[in-house]
């Protein structure tokens, strides 16, 4: 069995999919969506196709190592996102070839259910803002049965903010707790906007409501700054969606800078690397919450590793491989994202076949 064609599809602005087809007709899907750089991974996948076309798709580890190690410049968000999507597609093919779900090829299931959270928050305290927040909360609890939610510190934050700005955020956070009660868990994402001092100050204000975690309190570049926050906060700190391989997670784990890590299956190296990162974290008693904020194929890839931050499809929906088409009903609430038929009609298609010199764009 050889790789015969690699195609890319762009059904939505925030969704980039790669389809790997073999000469036996088996097809694998992966997701290369890179937030903020939607066109960059297209070129990277096209370059990787030069190596992959004609190769055995089942040599997944070999291909991962070759792609990562053979280039003079390693890593980076563009290459790792492209490699992640290719890796997912190859695992999808392997699952279909062996007639087993990917989690069975990784060693079998370790749990039957995975708890997930939804994004919900109170954006402002106006009557309209409160009404919108209440409507969404009621919808999520009625339709999804969620028992955990995550909100964010919206807008821009400077190195220091006046008490009024901090107090407004804290009031909204405590109002969220008042609405949902102590049985529901709440987490907050700072999106790396804070300095260590400001993050510590705000976390101390949140302490009384017992957050599930605070995510990315400071930018991911400085592990010592992240550990400084963790050392001064009495509840879990999380990070990892912008870390791109086990090498970038190494210092976070060795310094035990967080309680939870959040590798992204479409940025950190795919399913292959996601499992290795989780195995490293286990040594330090740090929990892994795979991150997914993009499309349904990435969602399925996270679930193959026993994810927490993604919707877990029922076993019957993905009997062999990751997904039929591109995720079907894998999104929370049963919303259909995009099936194979949708992609075949997409006007945005980029295809590489074995033996062709240049790509054709349809």
Active site residues per annotation: 191, 291
- CA distance linking residue 79 with residue 253, whole number of Å: 23
Q: CB–CB of 186/148 below 8 Å? A: yes
Name the β-bridge partners of 173: none
Count of CB atoms within 10 A of residue 241's CB?
Answer: 25
Tell me which H or E stretch contains 10: strand 3-12
The burial class, CB within 10 Å (0-12 / 13-18 / 19+), for 333 is exposed
Q: CB–CB of 20/27 below 8 Å? A: yes
Report the candidate in 274, 276, 283 with the shortest Cα–Cα distance to residue 256. Answer: 283
DSSP type of residue 313: P
- CA distance linking residue 300 with residue 292, whole number of Å: 9
Count of CB atoms within 10 A of residue 70's CB?
Answer: 9
Q: CB–CB of 25/329 below 8 Å? A: no
**Which residues fall within 8 angstroms of residue 127, CB to CB, at 6 or more apart?**
none
- CA distance linking residue 331 with residue 314, whole number of Å: 11
143-159 residues labelled b (16+ CB within 10 A) or e (exposed): eeebebbbbbbeeebee
- CA distance linking residue 38 with residue 46, whole number of Å: 14
Q: What are the C-alpha distances in Å from 290 to residues 174, 279, 300? A: 27, 13, 11
């Amino acid at each position: 069995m050889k790789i015969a064609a690699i195609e890319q599809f762009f059904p939505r602005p925030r969704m980039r999919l790669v389809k790997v087809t073999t000469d036996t007709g088996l097809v694998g899907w992966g997701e290369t969506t890179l937030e903020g750089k939607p066109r960059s991974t297209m070129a990277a996948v096209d370059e990787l196709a030069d190596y992959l076309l004609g190769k055995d798709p089942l040599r997944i580890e070999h291909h991962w190592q070759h792609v990562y190690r053979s280039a003079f410049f390693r890593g980076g968000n563009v290459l790792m996102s492209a490699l992640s999507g290719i890796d997912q597609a190859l695992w999808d093919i392997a699952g279909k070839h062996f007639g087993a779900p990917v989690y069975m090829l990784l060693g079998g299931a370790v749990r039957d259910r995975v708890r997930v959270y939804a994004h919900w928050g109170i954006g402002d305290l106006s009557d309209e803002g409160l009404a919108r927040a209440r409507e969404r909360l009621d919808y999520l609890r009625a339709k999804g049965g969620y028992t955990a939610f995550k909100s964010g510190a919206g807008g821009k934050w400077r190195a220091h903010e006046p008490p009024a700005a901090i107090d407004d955020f804290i009031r909204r956070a405590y109002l969220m707790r008042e609405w949902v009660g102590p049985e529901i868990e709440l987490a907050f994402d700072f999106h790396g906007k804070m300095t260590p001092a400001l993050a510590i100050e705000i976390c101390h204000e949140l302490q009384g409501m017992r957050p599930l975690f605070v995510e990315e309190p400071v930018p991911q570049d400085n592990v010592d700054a992240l550990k400084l926050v963790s050392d001064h906060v009495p509840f879990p700190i999380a990070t990892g969606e912008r870390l791109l391989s086990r090498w970038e997670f190494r210092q976070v784990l060795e310094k035990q800078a967080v309680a939870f890590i959040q590798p992204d299956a479409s940025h950190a190296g795919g399913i292959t690397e996601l499992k290795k990162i989780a195995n490293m974290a286990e040594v330090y008693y740090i929990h892994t919450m795979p991150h997914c904020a993009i499309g349904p194929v990435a969602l399925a890839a996270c679930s193959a590793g026993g994810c927490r931050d993604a919707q877990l499809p029922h076993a019957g929906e993905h009997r062999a491989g990751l997904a039929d088409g591109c995720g079907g009903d894998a999104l929370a609430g049963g919303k259909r994202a995009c099936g194979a038929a949708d992609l075949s009609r997409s006007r945005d298609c980029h295809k590489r076949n074995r033996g062709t010199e240049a790509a054709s764009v349809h």
